[in-house]
Structure 1
């Protein structure tokens, strides 16, 4: 009887028959997306795959796009959502050749760009789906030998099941809908509609191309904002949604339709879908009503994120329908009226007191200058003056000399702002219009309160992120560094991209760039924690692989739902060598002095926070003077229509054409040419080499009675060989005696003395195995037998201090020679 292997798959003796039985249970009568996801899940059970994904040709025939995925998030292993059909990825090669493709850690040839992104010990297998244009099944495993024969047989069964009649090779090619029903894929905008809906839009089934944009183009333009609040995934929340809108008809009035829909959330790798019905309601309502205006305003406010967005939505919904001359939206801050939107925006259109209080882009008027307004805000009720505001104070009367409406914007019992609507001529307010104003004020008050909270959170997180990134980069001996950070253009959320330049002892410098998963306050906070952790481990003196390993274990121990990627480069400024460690991140790009570029084959480990005992191997980099190192996050090189390998190639070409003498303009040009929908961090470092190389000598201090004398003799001999005058040697010998004596008396283990001479400054450093730093005494009495050593070192040194070094410490002193 078969058991379970270490990879979680069934033993070969029973694996394939059981897979066949499981696939038979998944019938073709299931809904397309559900059936596809269940088929992919069988690859996890019977083939022992870590993840399985289906790629199919999309609207662009040059690309293969992800249709669905199951298992561990595929992006953790460098697998992307889109691959060029002409590329060398396993997905593209298998689809073109109609033959299986295997890519593993021991694969000697092919897919060089893809193998660069593949973590060590991980294997991929791509199988073509039978049939013309069926796509490709991609599965991955962490087993060092890849998929065995039985596992590959199971994958072939799954690929065949995907291609059977009724299987959803493309998510929008289903059928069998009721005449008044529709089904919309929120990620692609592909929609399936019943015949009755096509009749209502005046379309023939043979003419409809399956795009939601085709239907939106036939609707009344004024109704588009409310419709977009439903058909755009970013504006839709769970639960039922009901909406009325108009469809344009040639030679006749618009037809009113009612949409009733519900969002079905997607799972891991599965798109969300909006399903529902559309019915004709033209016979039940008049052509234009204030209900439609409220409906459109509610939809616009639902999509408004900031206070400025809320204000503009309310102005757009009220000024033209009401025929108003001017309208203003203002928030209340203490006792002042802070205006966010004025329409029209020209200052001369508004009252004199507003212009005198014009402080920034928008006016800032005191409420005490308008007691009638203050009273309306205290009451929280709309106030209307149909025949003009002549009896009111000038700041209000001049807003509406013919008619005036004051709408307090209240929510949760608190007035958040006010809307002022003015007419130059008399205006009669009917019952419907009064109801419209009251309803609009209630909706806008709630939206304004929500937007204020959003603005406050965004500003807080933005301030946090700005504080967590370096304010300025340090000056480096023998190198120049510049960095850039740009937030995403897709919205106001903040991400976790970061960079850092960390000066280390002995003219080393650590270059770091990383990216935390997600776009929120949690990602920004975790970014700061990771940057601080890497900096702390680096200055402790650990080698690069240990630094990254410590940060990984720290993130795992925090039990966060987020993970991070990073690249850490330890650069030796004296020798021009570097060690690179990659944790699920893009490798560096090197531009050599002759203009050629290189993307080095840097062996990588998994992202930080995924596996506690992961290995992060070090890869050597050799730099010549004038070499440019570029570190970036994937927001610069990847987008919805650009594969990451293609983006890395573009970055290398742009660096080859750049002038490395001017790093600032180079960084700006690289960011300016990026088609970004994600945060971008970029770090450029040009290695120039040190113009003056330091002299170094070291001495291992043995724990013998004559240890201090031997250390002094070594120091004197070394300084005379370097040509240091005898007048300076005595001061140096005193510092050496005190530091070595302190290490021998107060610590155990080995002691090392290092001497470094550079540009007239001598650095004396004594390293021991104790992490405890020497304490500076506050006072020393005349009869005390100890405690003067630190005071003597301080007196003889231009600078002195301690550094952590691999579990111990290094006490150092810098002495200016020739004083």
Structure 2
């Protein structure tokens, strides 16, 4: 070449060296090859673009898997990806061997690999022979490292025996993948089959339930703890003549039997069978041995997790009751969802208890903590509550006795957990199926929620005391209210409300949206509440969803269907009236605040915030007047009804006092006398109605849609 002549192009040089160029982008799934690379792949010698599927069809399946294993390793190490590839024709025969060299890169945003490389034909024996192994030792070892890295990661992530076997069946070893395997286990003096791949179910029946003393390579491996390698059918037949007749129909040529050893104990054997001759070189034996060790650890770990799941689910089933035949005239649904990871049962529980009076008690509670001790205390406390309730005690007495019981077993002298006393929250509701009347007592637990007949949802403020076990002499006042036809009551633990980073306020708003928007029966509603918190229940599954559990969840739904409604959907033909009832006793002035909050819940979707404030103020005045000027209790009845021109709120406060209220003109410094004046100023209508014994004072407000200029309600 004279110096005045231009240098040849890179393409000309590569063509002269019989070297093709290819480009692969995993984001698009397209492989572009030049004319020489196309020829090497057995295609017409012209530049073309292939799909991954078309490219894969030209390569030996094992070599394609080898490429996909080497590329990530080369990216991590910053080196070239080098592999030898067998090119196949349409009949599945190897037509040539090429060497591929490429420089892969990874795009993190596209999460895709991009490779630019070369293909060059090499004249070497087909991989699988001893000569080929010695010629490509460096490349093969690189492939082996990538394979073992991926195999170890996949087996470590398998959570059950079935998943481990599925992963093992998908492993493609570099250059000598088996076409079938069997995993043997040990039960006493017998060899059993845990799983298999590449066989029909009936094919391996002769090898199931064999004695460990049998003349079989798998049994010998378990007995001795040493691997057995059989490179040819002749070697198998001469070594194990009794077993050979059952093996011959499979038409395989090489076998490897390796012990599955975990924690120093041989727990079984793994058989890998090949349809072609394998010499089982030291490198090949090293790969098989490493896979067997990883497989044994994965099976041992999966077996332990399955045993733990079975134990904890059995413990959970024994501690959580069935709802039985239900409550006449009412319907009940309940769910318990354990936290993810670790112990699958904790301190949350629910219960339904038939009472001697013919009534029923519903209980939802939560023992502090999520460990074995919390589960044990939960079981003891649930039994104690059942015993006290079955004796006929009222709700306040049941919780008082339960608190004393829990305090005793967690603070008694000599208790190894004395330095770590536990408490429990609980809500106990006694239901009268005939009337729908409920008596509720709470111990540091969230209030019940009521979905009214028109679909409106509100928290039901109830009296409460300290959590159980804190003070053995604590009192638990009761709140009496009615569950009207068409209404549903929700009792739940805080796990349903606060999971997902929510506090009590935001979590409750999330549940309210589900309760108000759901039109199914109570069973479907229970599922919808759980799914709204963290997707479908993973109580019977494993994986990422189960790991997201933050706290146990226990919930109960009590539904009182409307009379004459034979359907399961309690939300059809919703009435246009929402109504609530609340009593305030003379010795419970603190419940005036509960009455105010109760009214705000009832009016949560009222258009005008100023009217809500006015209604709350008037209710506070009316109930306070009853407690101050009479010696009787106050009964608050509030209802929202649809009228011809919009909604109307009617509030009525009834007492048993004989004196009728009258308007006074209080002095400037007077502390009372303004109640009726305020009612007259703020209400659209009001009045006083004498009754046979006592009186009631009422007021009405027509909903206004006035809103302030900022867009806020008011």
TM-score (norm: length of structure 2): 0.50
Q: Residues of 2 paired with 1:609 and 1:245: CA distance? A: 60
Q: Residues of 1 paired with 2:312 and 2:221: CA distance? A: 35
1:450-474 CA-partner distances (Å, limit 9, x unpaired): 4433322321221121122113434
Give the corresponding residue for 2:365. Answer: 514
CA contact (8 A) 2:364 2:426 kept: yes
Q: Residues of 2 paired with 1:508 and 1:601: CA distance? A: 22
Give the corresponding residue for 1:623. Answer: 483
Q: Residues of 2 paired with 1:304 and 1:672: CA distance? A: 25
CA contact (8 A) 2:231 2:279 kept: yes
Distance 1:614 1:395, change over 3 A: farther
Give the corresponding residue for 1:380. Answer: 225
SS at 1:246's partner residue?
helix
Q: Residues of 1 paired with 2:368 and 2:506: CA distance? A: 22
Distance 1:664 1:443, change over 3 A: closer
Quote the offset at 1:554 in angstroms.
2.9
CA contact (8 A) 2:343 2:371 kept: no
After TM superposition, the structure 1 stretch with the greater mean CA deviation from structure 2, 524-533 or 605-614, is 605-614
Counterpart selection for 1:393 from 240, 244, 253: 244
Give the corresponding residue for 1:675. Answer: 534
Give the corresponding residue for 1:432. Answer: 283
Consecutive unaligned residues in structure 1, runs of 5 or more = 1-219, 227-243, 256-283, 358-363, 692-819
Q: How does 1:768-787 map to 2 (within 5 A)?
A: none
CA contact (8 A) 2:357 2:392 kept: no
CA contact (8 A) 2:329 2:560 kept: yes
Quote the offset at 1:512 in angstroms.
0.8
Distance 1:430 1:390, change over 3 A: closer
Counterpart selection for 1:409 from 228, 248, 260: 260
Quote the offset at 1:417 in angstroms.
2.2
Give the corresponding residue for 2:560. Answer: 687
Distance 1:659 1:688, change over 3 A: same
CA contact (8 A) 1:544 1:618 kept: yes
* Aligned CA-pair RMSD: 4.2
Distance 1:373 1:340, change over 3 A: closer
CA contact (8 A) 1:493 1:520 kept: no
Give the corresponding residue for 2:507. Answer: 647
Quote the offset at 1:371 in angstroms.
2.7
1:664 aligns with 2:494: no
1:333 aligns with 2:187: yes
Distance 1:683 1:339, change over 3 A: farther
Distance 1:675 1:607, change over 3 A: same
CA contact (8 A) 2:144 2:174 kept: no
Quote the offset at 1:517 in angstroms.
4.5
After TM superposition, the structure 1 stretch with the greater mean CA deviation from structure 2, 453-462 or 314-323, is 314-323
Q: Residues of 1 paired with 2:71 and 2:335: CA distance? A: 38
Distance 1:592 1:542, change over 3 A: same
Consecutive unaligned residues in structure 2, runs of 5 or more = 1-66, 81-101, 107-137, 238-242, 411-416, 536-547, 565-714
1:596-625 CA-partner distances (Å, limit 9, x unpaired): 222112344454445555554433333223
Give the corresponding residue for 2:436. Answer: 576
Q: Residues of 2 paired with 1:223 and 1:604: CA distance? A: 65
Q: Which has the larger radius of gyration?
A: 2
CA contact (8 A) 1:409 1:441 kept: yes
Q: Residues of 1 paired with 2:334 and 2:258: CA distance? A: 48
Quote the offset at 1:409 in angstroms.
1.0
Give the corresponding residue for 1:465. Answer: 316
SS at 2:441's partner residue?
strand
Distance 1:523 1:372, change over 3 A: same
Quote the offset at 1:531 in angstroms.
1.6
Quote the offset at 1:424 in angstroms.
1.1
Q: Residues of 1 paired with 2:369 and 2:474: CA distance? A: 22
Aligned length: 416
SS at 1:558's partner residue?
helix
Distance 1:328 1:576, change over 3 A: same
Counterpart selection for 1:537 from 378, 388, 402: 388
SS at 1:435's partner residue?
helix
CA contact (8 A) 1:574 1:690 kept: no
Q: How does 1:35-184 map to 2 (within 5 A)?
A: none
1:49-103 CA-partner distances (Å, limit 9, x unpaired): xxxxxxxxxxxxxxxxxxxxxxxxxxxxxxxxxxxxxxxxxxxxxxxxxxxxxxx
TM-score (norm: length of structure 1): 0.44
